[in-house]
Amino acid sequence: MKCVLLATAPPAQIRLALAQIRRHFAGAQLMVYLRDSLREELERELEGFEVRSDHTRGRLLKLARTLRGERFDQVFVIFGGGTDHWKLKALAFAAGGRVLTAFNENGDFFDWNRKNLDAVRQHLKWRLTASNRRDLSLPALDPVVRALARIYSCTLGPLLGLIYLAGKVTYLEVTRARARQ
């Protein structure tokens, strides 16, 4: 299985994610994108994995094309509380992997897809609650991610619901029309 980890977190969280990947995805061919400054610190944990630099300044679209061209089976990303690397975190959705797996700062992980919406909702709700509390012990959402979540909840969520409902009603009407004939 060909996988990529977008290491978008502090070293402790990357260690947790790598340990979980070794434990639960044994035998995976893993490529890791991370900062050059972290290579030495994580040298032991990265043993056996292909490591690439995450130099994305001005080259985000090129990196997205490169990742899509690799045709990964699974994309791992760490949605910890850090406010850095938000472009690379967003790139996880465009990487083209069949499965997107998100890690939180505790090392827990879940697949980010329609079938697993409860886990996605729970993660986003926890993250929004933590950032609203201003509790310094809990990581907060990036301002950009927080704004996108608000936009989604106010506009895109209901709009997508209406589109889904319209499609469902159309399907039912076509099915009934065929049944009558």
Between helix 143-151 and helix 117-133 the angle, nearest 10°, is 120
pLDDT digits (tens, 9 = 90+) for 64-92: 888 888 888 888 888 775 666 677 777 78
- Is the confidence at residue 136, as pLDDT, over 50? no
Residues 6+ apart with CB under 8 A from 162: none
Percentage of the chain lying above the pLDDT 70 cut: 69
pLDDT at 7: 83
Mean pLDDT value across residues 129-157: 58
CB atoms inside a 10 Å sphere around CB 138: 14
Tokens of 80: 């910890």
pLDDT at 180: 83
Provide DSSP, 5-41: EE--S-HHHHHHHHHHHHHHSTT-EEEEEE-HHHHTT
Confidence of residue 137 (pLDDT cuts 50, 70, 90): very low
Strands (E) located in 92-165: 99-103, 109-111
Cβ atoms 31, 57 nearer than 8 A: no
pLDDT digits (tens, 9 = 90+) for 92-128: 888 888 888 888 777 788 787 766 667 777 766 766 6
Domain spans in the chain, listed from the N-terminal domain onward: 2-141, 143-181
Mean pLDDT value across residues 151-177: 73
Which phi and psi angles does 107 have, rounded to 5°?
A: 90, 0
Query: What is the CATH T-level fold of the domain 2-141, as seen in this structure?
Result: Rossmann fold (3.40.50)
CA distance 82 to 41: 18
Mean pLDDT value across residues 58-63: 75
pTM: 0.64
